[in-house]
């Protein structure tokens, strides 16, 4: 569920703190030079430790329902992000890109390869290259290890401070007054940090190169900065969040323009996927789907749209939600005729058939789509959910377990697997799967409870007992690193 144009003070506190590279660290010098790669900062804060910190914050963002777990959008963001990552040089961490339930125009990077994109940023971007420009900027913060550099410069315990922010502010331990105080402290710290400008300049410079090498327009970074400045002039005090956390000056715009001018401009590319995602977000955020369907229909008829197919796709989704299945089918047929293999259209086709009660047809569509894209997250989840809903729990379980071998599976897969295992009477396996879901969503104490229940199920073999005990030990070690509760 997408949020209205407001954000809780707790989430504000966390995001401001995350966007402050030293996490509340004191600044001891007026100007601090960036350390060289290989210095003590990068030795003290290892990539493995950065990954642990970033993953812990993401889990707690999920716990606060701050992440939108729509697999279609998540898949799009990760494809876009990895397109940029692949254009970089040298070794790189595993990345994970996720959508934040926040209407502000912003994005942020976490230690260890995690990039959060506010849905407001996607809606504000005028084209895919503008969105890619912001994502590229955040990717560079991670590849250049700006968090580790700031950790050294601030002489602060970054892992502990990140744990405090994530576990206390988002974990329900602190009140709004504490959150507001943390927010003010973080903002104050950021305002004092002179060397953040060097980080921003480096992220712009390298990010523009990533854009050009990955087929995006390198001019889009300066273009997006100008876009935001225009918005800020119109909005007055309510400036876009990006401008508060990534200050944009005329000098910065000019430098971005000059860098882009020295690079070749790639030919225009198909941006249908970008427009489909923007329209999907529009449908998800709408409170009155019937009214939205009427608006989208009118836009198609009068030609007032950025992309006709994306507008029609949004109309299909809204009509399905309204149970206007015949009209939805007519519009979907036009989309499939133009692009029969696009995954989101096939998913809509299967959903439409499920609504009509044509289960065999829907399952056949899912099976065909998965054959064309093995282990695709979107198709796998939709297919497994449909199988489970139609008394095919065993096949659903096999599909889910196969997908969960992926390096960074989405947490909702564990929740669905728990349902499937429970349906089959596999009690211990259901507890284990639910434990992993709770862990991935920041509910660590609940995860330990589920693992404990799993360990007490009669008839477990040595391997399963050992696996459960190992996970419980690992989670307890993480909890021991958090500050004690008062």
* pLDDT value at residue 252: 81
Per residue in 215-271, pLDDT tens?
A: 999 999 988 888 777 766 665 555 566 666 566 677 888 888 888 888 888 888 889
Report the C-alpha gap between 319 and 341 in whole angstroms: 21
* pLDDT value at residue 480: 80
* pLDDT value at residue 314: 98
The count of other CB atoms within 10 Å of the CB of residue 256 is: 26
* pLDDT value at residue 188: 40
Report the C-alpha gap between 158 and 24 in whole angstroms: 9
Q: What is the pTM of this model?
A: 0.82
**Residue bearing the bigger pLDDT, 438 or 187:** 438
Q: How far is CA 278 from CA 44, 131, 347, 348, in A?
A: 41, 11, 17, 16
**Spatial strand order in the sheet of 67-68:** 67-68, 96-100, 114-118, 107-110
pLDDT (mean) for 288-317: 96
In which residue are the tokens 């998800």 written?
284
CATH of 274-373, picked from 3.40.50, 1.10.3210, 1.25.40, 2.60.40, is: 1.25.40
Lowest mean pLDDT among 184-193, 256-265, 316-325, 433-442: 184-193
The count of other CB atoms within 10 Å of the CB of residue 249 is: 11
**Burial state string for 290-325 with b = 16 or more CB within 10 A and e = fewer than 16:** eebbebbbebbeeeebebbbbbbbbbbbbbbbbebe
Residues contacting 9, CB < 8 A, separation 6+: 176, 179, 180, 183
Q: Where are the domains of the chain?
A: 9-261, 274-373
Per residue in 76-106, pLDDT tens?
A: 999 999 999 998 876 666 899 999 999 988 8
* Alpha-helix residue ranges (DSSP H) falling in 376-461: 377-389, 393-403, 412-423, 427-440, 444-455
In which residue are the tokens 């947490």 written?
411
* pLDDT value at residue 193: 40
| pLDDT more than 70, % of the chain | 74
Measured in residues, the chain has a length of 486
**Residue bearing the bigger pLDDT, 190 or 52:** 52
* pLDDT value at residue 24: 30
Q: Are 198 and 34 in contact (CB under 8 A)?
A: yes
- Which structure tokens are listed for 248? 């944009």
* pLDDT value at residue 384: 98
Catalytic residues: 138, 204
Residues contacting 270, CB < 8 A, separation 6+: none
SS (H, E, C) 231-252: HHHHHCCCCCHHHHHCCCCHHH
* pLDDT value at residue 240: 60
Q: Are 45 and 207 in contact (CB under 8 A)?
A: no
Report the C-alpha gap between 199 and 138 in whole angstroms: 11
Report the C-alpha gap between 318 and 289 in whole angstroms: 5
Q: How far is CA 285 from CA 49, 156, 282, in A?
A: 36, 40, 5
CA 242 vs. chain centroid, Å, equals 17
* pLDDT value at residue 39: 46
Pairing, β 114-118 against β 107-110: antiparallel
* pLDDT value at residue 243: 60
Residue 194's pLDDT band (cuts 50, 70, 90): very low
Q: CA-CA-CA-CA torsion for 454, 456, 458, 462, nearest 10 degrees?
A: 70
Angle at 147 between CA 88 and CA 207, to 5 degrees: 30
Run of H or E residues at 71: helix 71-85
Question: At residue 379, does pLDDT exceed 90?
Answer: yes
Q: Are 17 and 178 in contact (CB under 8 A)?
A: no
């Amino acid at each position: 569920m997408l949020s209205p144009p407001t954000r809780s003070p707790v989430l504000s506190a966390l995001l401001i703190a995350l966007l402050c590279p030293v996490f509340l660290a004191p600044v001891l010098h007026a100007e601090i030079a960036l350390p060289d790669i290989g210095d003590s900062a990068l030795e003290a804060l290892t990539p493995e430790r950065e990954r642990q910190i970033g993953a812990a914050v993401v889990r707690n963002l999920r716990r606060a329902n701050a992440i939108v777990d729509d697999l279609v959008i998540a898949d799009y963001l990760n494809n876009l992000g990895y397109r940029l990552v692949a254009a970089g040089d040298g070794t790189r961490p595993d990345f994970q890109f996720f959508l934040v339930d926040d209407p502000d125009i912003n994005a942020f990077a976490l230690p260890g390869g995690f990039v959060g994109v506010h849905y407001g940023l996607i809606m504000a971007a005028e084209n895919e290259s503008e969105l890619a420009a912001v994502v590229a900027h955040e990717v560079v913060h991670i590849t250049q290890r700006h968090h580790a550099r700031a950790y050294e410069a601030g002489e602060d315990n970054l892992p502990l401070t990140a744990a405090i922010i994530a576990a206390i502010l988002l974990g329900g331990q602190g009140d709004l007054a504490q959150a507001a105080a943390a927010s003010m402290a973080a903002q104050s710290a950021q305002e004092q940090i002179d060397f953040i400008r060097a980080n921003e300049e480096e992220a712009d410079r390298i990010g523009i190169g990533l854009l050009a090498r990955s087929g995006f327009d390198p001019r889009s970074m300066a273009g997006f900065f100008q876009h935001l400045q225009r918005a800020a002039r119109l909005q007055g005090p309510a400036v876009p969040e990006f401008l508060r956390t990534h200050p944009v000056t005329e000098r910065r715009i000019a430098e971005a323009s000059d860098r882009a001018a020295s690079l070749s401009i790639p030919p225009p590319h198909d941006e249908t996927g970008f427009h489909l995602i923007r329209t999907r977000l529009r449908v998800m955020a709408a409170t009155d789907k019937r009214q939205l369907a009427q608006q989208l229909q009118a836009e198609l008829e009068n030609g007032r749209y950025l992309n006709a197919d994306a507008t029609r796709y949004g109309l299909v989704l809204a009509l399905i939600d309204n149970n206007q299945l015949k009209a939805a089918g007519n519009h979907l047929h036009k989309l499939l005729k133009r692009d029969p293999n696009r995954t989101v259209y096939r998913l809509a086709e299967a959903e439409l058939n499920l609504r009509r009660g044509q289960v065999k047809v829907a399952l056949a569509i899912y099976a065909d789509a998965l054959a064309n894209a093995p282990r695709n997250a979107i198709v796998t989840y939709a297919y497994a959910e449909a199988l489970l809903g139609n008394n095919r729990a065993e096949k659903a379980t096999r599909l889910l377990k196969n997908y969960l071998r992926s390096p960074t599976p989405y947490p909702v897969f564990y929740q669905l697997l728990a349902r499937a295992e429970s349906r089959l009477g596999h009690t211990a396996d259901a507890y284990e799967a639910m434990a992993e879901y709770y862990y991935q969503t920041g509910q660590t104490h609940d995860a330990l409870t589920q693992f404990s229940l799993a360990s007490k199920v009669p008839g477990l073999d040595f391997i399963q007992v050992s696996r459960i005990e190992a996970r419980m030990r690992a989670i307890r070690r993480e909890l021991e690193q958090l500050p004690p509760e008062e």
